[in-house]
C-alpha cells in the first residue's frame, strides 16, 4: 500500500520549495508527488527524488475543487495526502498517516502549527518550526493518536488524508463550487452523510507557512457569496458564517435565513485595508 502527496500552487514557489524540502526529509518517502500548477507562469519542477507529476491548470481565480480533483485523478496510490502549498510536512507525517488510513476508512485531518512571518529560514530545522509554531485556538487536537470529531464543519483541507477509493466514491470535491470558499465544508458534510468519519490526528502534522491574508477575504467576495448560495441550497444553512457576518456589518450584503442580496461591492480601498501581513492564523 502506497501514499501519494498532492498539492496545488498558484504563484507561491517559495512555499512549494519548503513543502518539498519537508517531503525530502520524510522518514517514509511518498510514492509520488502530484502538483497542480495554477500559476501565472509555470513553476520550476520541484527538486526532489520523489517521482513527480506537474499538471498545468490555467483558470481565472482559484478553482480549488477542480484542482484537487485533478490532482487525485493523476494519483496512482491507494492513499492520498492533500497538503496546501503553504504547509511543510513534518518528517513523521507520512509515517503516521499511512497506518492511520490503513486502519480507518476515514477523513483524517493532521494537526497544524501556524508560523509567524520570518519563522522559516533557508536553513530551517523541524525543531525550530515546532518551537515557534502555534496550534489554532479553535482546532483542538490531542497530543497523539486519533480522535473522532462529530462536527463535520470542522473539516479543513490544509493537510488531510483519505483512501483514494473513498475519495472517488464520494465524487471528490463538488466542482459546482467555483473558486474560493465552502468546497471543503461541503466535502466534509458529504463524507459524514456517506458514513465516512472525520478524525483528528494528533502528533506528527504540518507547519503552516506565513503569508499575507485578508480579514475579511474581500478579494474573494464574489466567490464567497456564490459558493455560500450553492452550499445553502444543499444544506439549508449558511457556511462561512463569520465572513458573511462581517460583510453584513460593512453594509455590503443583506441576509435572511434563505437569501443574500448584494447591497454594494467592496471598494478597492476596503480590499486593500483588509490585507494583513502580521496575522498568524
180: confidence class by pLDDT, cuts 50, 70, 90: confident
**In CATH, what is the architecture of 3-208?**
Alpha-Beta Complex (3.90)
Q: How many CA atoms lie within 13 A of 61 on its CB side?
A: 15
Asked whether the beta carbons of 164 and 80 are under 8 A apart, the reply is yes
Phi and psi at 261, nearest 5°, equal -115, 135
Query: Over 90: is that where the pLDDT of 206 sits?
Result: yes
11-21: average pLDDT? 95
- C-alpha cell at position 43: 513553476
Selection from 168, 161, 185 nearest residue 106 by Cα: 161
Query: Over 90: is that where the pLDDT of 153 sits?
Result: yes
Q: Domain-by-domain residue ranges, the chain?
A: 3-208, 213-276
118-143: average pLDDT? 90
Return mean pLDDT, the chain: 94
Query: Over 80: is that where the pLDDT of 236 sits?
Result: yes
For residues 106 and 198, what is the distance between their CA atoms, to the nearest angstrom? 6
- 3-state class (DSSP) for residue 265: coil
Place of cell 513527480: 52
Asked whether the beta carbons of 57 and 37 are under 8 A apart, the reply is yes
137: confidence class by pLDDT, cuts 50, 70, 90: confident
Query: Over 80: is that where the pLDDT of 278 sits?
Result: no
pLDDT of res. 19: 97
- C-alpha cell at position 94: 507520512
For residues 215 and 275, what is the distance between their CA atoms, to the nearest angstrom? 6
Selection from 150, 163, 141, 144 nearest residue 198 by Cα: 150
Amino acid at each position: 500500500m502506497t501514499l501519494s502527496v498532492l498539492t496545488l500552487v498558484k504563484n507561491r514557489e517559495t512555499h512549494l520549495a519548503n513543502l518539498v524540502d519537508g517531503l525530502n526529509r520524510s522518514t517514509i518517502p511518498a510514492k509520488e508527488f502530484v502538483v497542480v500548477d495554477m500559476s501565472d507562469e509555470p513553476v520550476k519542477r520541484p527538486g526532489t527524488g520523489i517521482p513527480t507529476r506537474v499538471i498545468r491548470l490555467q483558470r481565472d481565480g482559484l478553482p480549488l475543487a477542480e484542482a484537487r480533483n485533478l490532482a487525485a485523478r493523476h494519483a496512482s496510490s491507494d492513499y492520498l495526502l492533500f497538503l496546501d502549498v503553504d504547509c511543510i510536512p513534518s518528517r513523521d507525517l507520512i509515517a503516521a498517516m499511512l497506518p492511520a488510513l490503513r486502519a480507518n476508512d476515514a477523513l483524517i485531518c493532521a494537526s497544524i502549527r501556524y508560523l509567524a512571518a520570518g519563522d522559516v529560514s533557508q536553513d530551517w530545522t523541524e525543531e525550530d518550526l515546532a518551537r515557534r509554531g502555534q496550534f489554532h485556538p479553535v482546532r483542538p487536537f490531542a497530543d497523539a493518536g486519533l480522535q473522532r470529531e462529530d462536527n463535520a464543519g470542522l473539516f479543513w483541507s490544509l493537510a488531510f488524508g483519505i483512501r483514494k477509493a473513498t475519495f472517488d466514491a464520494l465524487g471528490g470535491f463538488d466542482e459546482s463550487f467555483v473558486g474560493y470558499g465552502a468546497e471543503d465544508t461541503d466535502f466534509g458534510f458529504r463524507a459524514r452523510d456517506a458514513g465516512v468519519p472525520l478524525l483528528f490526528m494528533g502528533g506528527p502534522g504540518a507547519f503552516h507557512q506565513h503569508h499575507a491574508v485578508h480579514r475579511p477575504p474581500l478579494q474573494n467576495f464574489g466567490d464567497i457569496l456564490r459558493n455560500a448560495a450553492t452550499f445553502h441550497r444543499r444544506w439549508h444553512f449558511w457556511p462561512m458564517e463569520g465572513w458573511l457576518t462581517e460583510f453584513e456589518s460593512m453594509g455590503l450584503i443583506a441576509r435572511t435565513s434563505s437569501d443574500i442580496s448584494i447591497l454594494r461591492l467592496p471598494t478597492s480601498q476596503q480590499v486593500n485595508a483588509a490585507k494583513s501581513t502580521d496575522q498568524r492564523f
